[in-house]
Amino acid sequence: MAAERIGRLAGKVAIVTGGARGIGAAEARLLASEGAAVAILDMRDDLGEAVVAELVAAGGEALYRHLDVTSEPSWQQAVAAIEAWKGHIDILVNTAGINVRGPLGTVALADWNQVLAVNLTGPMLGMKHVAPAMARAGGGAIVNITSNVSLIPSRGASYTASKWGLRGLSKTAALEFAAQKITVNTVCPGVVPTDLNRGQPYLETTAAATPLGRIATADAIAAAVLFLGSYEARFITGVDISVDGRFV
């Protein structure tokens, strides 16, 4: 009889924001398949509960909580609930994000503020409140999902600014949290087909312009997150991993 496989994240507790669909859901599924107990934090309660039910049906441990990433009290309550659930937090994946497209010359201030609130302030609050829990557990790994537009000049004022800002913030966090044995890294996806952009013509043109001849899948992004959250990456911090087929 074959020995039961022990996952790379057995005994770990992971938080995935934006885990109800798309890239976040792929990350939650992969982390759970490798043995992590996964807390999915999102605002799409129906979809989040469905992913949790799927993970539990597959034999995993999972929890869903409604979270507004821009709310500090919401983060505080979520961290307390997850520590009460499993006693520790080992991995934080900040995936939740939005994009309001438009050039700098026409960007509405309300749109600018909302994109930065979700894409930059949200991860900041997550790191601020999860890092102490990780320190209590002896260390941990934070993975922030940015974008390959955080590596090059790009159109789209608010989104690009938020992702460049998150890259910089991640490097600051890597320095500040190192003494607590917490690593902080970013994954920079290229274009990934999700329910939000499926069927858009730019997917085909991007694939044609990518040296590997295709665009990434959500599973490819999740694989990079798994590596950075695993024991193998314990001495890697402050780096950006581009997952875009060398498009940039």
User: What amino acid positions are annotated as catalytic residues?
Assistant: 159
Closest CA to 94 of 33, 172, 36, 166: 166
Rg, C-alpha atoms of the chain: 17
Say which residues have a Cβ less than 8 Å from residue 22's Cβ, sequence separation at least 6: 192, 194, 195, 196, 218
**What are the φ and ψ backbone dihedral angles of 186, each rounded to 5 degrees?**
-120, 150
Alpha-helical (H) ranges within the chain are 22-33, 45-57, 72-86, 109-116, 122-136, 157-177, 201-209, 218-229
- Cα-to-chain-centroid distance, residue 116: 16
Q: How far apart are CA 169 and CA 144, in angstroms?
A: 10
Counting every residue, how long is the chain? 248
- Based on the number of CB atoms within 10 Å of its own CB, is 48 exposed (0-12), middle (13-18) or buried (19 or more)? buried
**What are the φ and ψ backbone dihedral angles of 242, each rounded to 5 degrees?**
-85, 125
